[in-house]
Amino acid sequence: MKRVYLDHIAATPLDPQVVEAMLPYLREKYGNPQSLHSAGQEALAAVQEARSRVARLIGAEENEIFFTSSGSEANNFAVKGMALARRDRSQHLVVSAIEHQSVLHSAKSLEKFGFSSTLVPVDRDGLVDPEDIKRALKKETALVSVILASSEVGTIEPLAEIARICRSAGIPLHSDAVAAAGSIPLDIRELDVDALSLAADQFSGPKGSGALFLRKGMRILPFIDGGIQEGGRRSGTENVAGIVGMGKAAELALTKLAERGERLRSLRDRLIEHLPQKVDRVNLTGHREKRLPHHASFCVEFIEGESMLLNLDMKGIAASSGSACTSRALKASHVLLAMGIDHALAQGSLVFSLIDSTTAEDIDYLLDVFPPIIDRLRKMSPLYTKFLEENEK
């Protein structure tokens, strides 16, 4: 059976060059970067090389990169660490309603330490209005955190504008760039954010490797107390192979960024244009233009996401959904609900995410198998029957 993997927001394959770069550090080069001997220094040099490669991906300085175990950890580190470092005078947070759970739940857990937070709404396309950020700021705001691009709907936020507002108010800004880094060009000086979260597994690097960019001079509470690793801010023996893999993946991503974006954008647009033509009542979610080049997301009316995913999987297609039934917590995606999409429609959520190796044939295969699946499920749906009856009247 043909296999088409279109769930690269969940996982990307390791680039063979990344595997090659990692292997020595899983085998013979097993030194601890904190050791003084040659074996240790060899590992340290590899970690530092990786650090500068990750820094180059976003136009940062080498000593502004702190390795973590994931994008979620980077988000926790930034939100909790930056907020708690300012808690003496500032106990308020501003976050958007469509943040990743690792930001939202970090803000929530800070309530136990006396913080309160303002949730900034988004419009129907998932865009944050910078003016809303401005209105939400208080004298005692410790941190603003706005996602760079949503993994669920692909919308790219006006971060540079938000940064200008935060800068002039003197309030630090963090952005979760996990879904965006490696897919779109990012320049930290242009964006002017103070902290940025990244994850290697979004750009063909290994799982379990993330990083936080923290602008020089920014205060943050250490995330793991212990030794002197990561400048004493994130202790624990370095995941050398993972870090080396992230560095190599960042280097490869940077060289391919422009060309890759162009190609993926055209495949994405093919899907966005044709899917709603093949099946009626399929709605694009997220902004039509201001979106990640490898991201196409929809809500299909009258049917539920999990039943679509199972049927697509039987045809060899891997995708994801923000429906309640696909989440273990049985709750519909907070991102879709925040965009004003009603519960029934949010249940029909589908997300397709592409990668370099995705071909036009892959997209056409999806376009071919999709209509009969939807037809079959709609025939089973009481909501569709009701819709047809009402249309007859």
Partner 1 sequence: MIYTDKVMDHFQNPRNVGVIKDADGTGQVGNPVCGDMMTFSIKVKDNKLEDVKFQTFGCGAAIAVSSIVSEMAIGKTLEEAMKITNEIVAQELGGLPKNKLHCSNLGADALHAAIEDYKKKEKDEAAPGPEKEKVQKSKECHCPYCDGPLEGIEGICSSCHVDLEKCPHCGNLTKKGGEKCAKCGAALEPE
Which sequence positions are flagged as catalytic? 325
Residue 330 lies near partner 1 (rule: CB under 8 A): yes
Nearest approach, Cβ of residue 323 and partner 1 (Å) = 6
Nearest approach, Cβ of residue 82 and partner 1 (Å) = 26
Nearest approach, Cβ of residue 118 and partner 1 (Å) = 13
Residue 332 lies near partner 1 (rule: CB under 8 A): yes
Residue 3 lies near partner 1 (rule: CB under 8 A): no
Euclidean distance between CA atoms 207 and 248, whole angstroms = 14
Nearest approach, Cβ of residue 18 and partner 1 (Å) = 30
CB nearer to partner 1: give 366 or 377: 377
Closest among 59, 17, 60, 29 to 248, alpha carbons compared:
17
Q: Which of 16, 170, 217, 382 binds partner 1 (CB under 8 A)?
A: 382
Residue 135 lies near partner 1 (rule: CB under 8 A): no
Euclidean distance between CA atoms 89 and 85, whole angstroms = 10
Residue 380 lies near partner 1 (rule: CB under 8 A): yes
Q: Which residues in 333-362 contact partner 1 (CB under 8 A)?
A: 337, 340, 342-344, 347
What is the DSSP code (8-state) at residue 202?
G
| Pair 58, 37: CB distance under 8 Å | no
| Pair 155, 123: CB distance under 8 Å | no
Euclidean distance between CA atoms 304 and 298, whole angstroms = 12
243-270: string of b/e by CB count within 10 Å (b at 16+)?
Answer: bbbbbbbbbbbbebbeebbebbbebbee
Residue 303 lies near partner 1 (rule: CB under 8 A): yes
CB nearer to partner 1: give 213 or 302: 302
CB nearer to partner 1: give 1 or 36: 1
CB nearer to partner 1: give 160 or 310: 310
Rg (the chain; Cα; Å): 22
144 to 101, 103, 119, 339: CA distances (angstroms):
15, 11, 10, 20
Q: Which of 328, 390, 391, 392 binds partner 1 (CB under 8 A)?
A: 328
Closest among 329, 284, 305 to 381, alpha carbons compared:
305
Residue 326 lies near partner 1 (rule: CB under 8 A): yes
Give, in degrees to the nearest 5, the angle at Cα 316 between 352 and 16: 75
Q: Which of 125, 270, 381, 387 binds partner 1 (CB under 8 A)?
A: 381
CB nearer to partner 1: give 32 or 381: 381
CB nearer to partner 1: give 88 or 389: 389
What is the secondary structure of 276-307 as a DSSP string? HHHSSSEEE-S-SSSB-TTEEEEEETTS-HHH
Nearest approach, Cβ of residue 381 and partner 1 (Å) = 5
- List the structure tokens of 199: 């994850």
Binding segment for partner 1 (CB under 8 A), chosen from 12-20, 62-70, 175-183, 382-390, is 382-390
CB nearer to partner 1: give 118 or 209: 118
Euclidean distance between CA atoms 105 and 359, whole angstroms = 37
Binding mask 306-325 for partner 1 (x = CB under 8 A): xx--x---x--------xxx
Match 């108010």 to its residue by tokens: 169
Residues that bind partner 1 (CB under 8 A): 302-307, 310, 314, 323-326, 328, 330, 332, 337, 340, 342-344, 347, 379-383, 385
